[in-house]
Amino acid sequence: AAIESVPPNLQMMFTHAYQSWLFNEMLSKRMDAGLPLNMPIEGDIVIPLDANKIPQHENPILTTSKNIDLVTRQCRAGRAFVTITLFGSDGELAEGEMGEIERKVIEDNRLSHEDFVIPGLPRCTSKGSRREIICPLKNLECEINEDNYKLKFMLPKGNYATCLLREYMKSEMRDY
């Protein structure tokens, strides 16, 4: 297959790009539904941060009627973040309204977990995970001159500077 002629690190990029596209579809539908991005609703899966502000993806928390007050306080304090699935061969989907959105996007794209298991190219197989909707920004510095701005910052792995910069510039991606 033609994809085998592409370097291995770029082969996996195709899988990750598709997962990111699905994530963005789910995020758009969450926004269209008027659901909060930074606060949980019942059924959301939230990822807590450790003492060093590192997301603990191995410890997801399902938001229920019993824990929503505590989870909301943790999110409000910046110690936990609401997530959306990066759909793959494994992984937990949300419940409630967000779970319906995740399942609908997966269904609309005629996907199943098995679609992310690629026996002929195992390096392109992806289990999937959950990604925070809002990510913690570290070490933000802004230098303003007459003709330009210079921003310095750190983002966690899996987040994109272009998305952050678009928010500062308030321009469409196609305008770059």
* pLDDT band (50, 70, 90) for residue 7: confident
For the chain, domain boundaries: 2-134, 137-176
pTM exceeds 0.95: no
d(CA 164, CA 161): 5
pLDDT over 90, % of the chain: 52
Checking if the pLDDT of 111 tops 90, the result is yes
What is the mean predicted confidence (pLDDT) over 88-116?
95
What is the mean predicted confidence (pLDDT) over 18-45?
95
**The pLDDT value given to residue 97:** 98
User: Does residue 27 contact residue 74 with C-beta atoms inside 8 Å?
Assistant: no
Residue range 2-134 in CATH 3.20.20.10: no
Name which of 61-70, 79-88, 110-119 the model is least confident about: 110-119
d(CA 1, CA 67): 49
What is the mean predicted confidence (pLDDT) over 24-31?
94
Query: Which tops the pLDDT comparison, 150 or 168?
Result: 150
The region, left, alpha or beta by phi > 0 then psi within -120 to 50, assigned to residue 73 is: alpha
Tokens of 86: 């990066």
Checking if the pLDDT of 170 tops 90, the result is no
Closest CA to 44 of 53, 55, 35, 54: 35
Residue in the structure block whose two tokens are 């921003």: 151
Query: Which of helix, strand or coil describes residue 135?
Result: coil
What are the two backbone dihedrals, phi and then psi, of residue 70, each rounded to the nearest 5 degrees?
-65, -45
| pLDDT digits 0-9 by tens, 72-96 | 999 999 999 999 999 999 989 999 9
